[in-house]
Structure 1
Amino acid sequence: MDGLIGIGLYTPAEAGRLLHVPSAKISRWLNGHTLKGREYPALWTPSVQLNDSDRTILGFRDLMEIRVADAFIRAGVSSIQVRAAINYAREILGEQYPLSAERFRTDGRSILLRVFEKDADGVERERLLNLFRRQYEFKEIIDPLLKTVDFDDHGSPKLWYPAGRRVNIIIDPLRAFGQPIDGVTSVPTTVLATSASEFGIEETSIAYDVPESSVRRAVEFEHSLN
């Protein structure tokens, strides 16, 4: 267990709830799948590996990678192209999980342009090239994702504000195994929201010695995940 402290722990269902991405899709991305007789390998290997377990468990860095990968796929990029971008970005940036690295904000457009110029058969894909031709188009995808993340001195994500910075809810892999916590008191939002639903906001505030505003914030955040 000691080796799992500080990296965050999430099942695909928990990750899907936080990211608003179907858990089945997350499992396919990280385990690979077969469709119509064609095999699709995993986009990357999850950062958490449990001995003697077939369960898929994600770490905080996996959450951050999924956010970017999902944004690209929503923009019309295929999972095959996303995988190619990840592999190429690893080489260029020297990062195991490059999409969520701070440097990807500045170098990612060049990486994607190089990857998307041709497909596996050498055929140019102008539509994909157009998607990343202009800087502002790339920034429209990346900036909203990375502006809610704090990075450490090495450019790796260390904190995420899943509801935005103005809503002081934090996901910190060093606290509460990476579960969402109130930014003021560090109490998990699910604890506060569950208590509030049973005992009310005022009683929960007293019981956990937290401001009522923190309880309300936790309740609103947990409701937004449903």
Structure 2
Amino acid sequence: MTKHDTSLIGLGLYTPAEAARLIKVPAAKLTRWLKGHGSGNRTYPPLWHGQVDLHDDKLYLGFLDLVQSRMASAFIAAGLSPQKVRRALILARELIEHDHPFATSRFRTDGRTLLLEALGEDEDDRPLVDLFKRGQYVMHKVIEPSLKGIDFDTDIAARWWPRGRASDIVLDPARQFGQPIIESVGIPTSILSAAAEAEGSVTRAARLFRVSTAAVQRAVDFEHGLAA
């Protein structure tokens, strides 16, 4: 199976390195989350199973994996251990009935309640329970930023505007396998940015692809931002 197989349309396709550039979560961490890992005598299973399996023993992420990874990273940064994120995922998956519950609009509204149930009342969880009982914190510091710029179709994440709609840059798993594109022209930002570098000019790259110089400049700025 190749990257251009039609079965991948609508899923998105990212290597861990590509995903890491987009969501600023280290590729090694994404690999541990989706493949599991061992430490000493302990084995930790995957936090969840990814959308994409090309049967080549390599790890790939789909678009929903990308969205869910951003949320998982935000929760870990807020103080949850990966094991507690797994508990939250299991509970949310059962209640929301979706393999990627963190990538649903229902989690946006019910996430605080689900997290509190997942944490429970264990003594070790008390600081986190207290933290997440403060609804303003979990919504405005964790959930909302992670789902900012996400469009939902039938409650499932469908598109991500990483710099807001005004930027004209979108990740849409139904277009270009979910790679960042200039939405108005449908060309990946990586291609336009590489063309500007190769041509030595935004203007010449714009002429080559018959797009506006503004579109090429947006692509260049976006790609430079990913590299920073």
Q: TM-score range by the shorter chain?
A: over 0.9
Which residues of structure 2 form unaligned runs of 5+?
none
Q: Which of 4, 10, 27 is the matching residue for 1:6?
A: 10
Q: Deviations over 1:164-197 (max 9, x none)?
A: 3332210000111111000221111000000001
Q: In the alignment, what sits opposite 2:172? A: 172
Q: Deviations over 1:184-225 (max 9, x none)?
A: 211110000000012110011111011111111000000011
| Equivalent residue runs for 1:65-214 within 5 Å | 65-118=68-121, 122-140=122-140, 141-152=142-153, 154-199=154-199, 200-214=201-215
- Report the alpha carbon displacement of residue 73 of structure 1 after superposing the two structures with TM: 0.6
| Equivalent residue runs for 1:33-44 within 5 Å | 33-44=37-48
CA contact (8 A) 1:117 1:124 kept: no
Which residues of structure 1 form unaligned runs of 5+?
none
Corresponding letter in the other structure for 1:186: G
Q: In the alignment, what sits opposite 2:58? A: 55
How far apart are the structure 1 equivalents of 2:123 and 2:134?
Answer: 21
- Report the alpha carbon displacement of residue 20 of structure 1 after superposing the two structures with TM: 0.8
- What's the RMSD between the two structures over aligned residues? 1.1
How far apart are the structure 2 equivalents of 1:223 and 1:37?
Answer: 42
TM-score, normalized by length of structure 1?
Answer: 0.94
**Aligned-pair identity (%):** 43
TM-score, normalized by length of structure 2?
Answer: 0.94
- Report the alpha carbon displacement of residue 2 of structure 1 after superposing the two structures with TM: 2.0
Q: In the alignment, what sits opposite 2:27? A: 23
Greater fraction helix: 2
Aligned residues: 221
How far apart are the structure 1 equivalents of 2:41 and 2:167?
Answer: 45
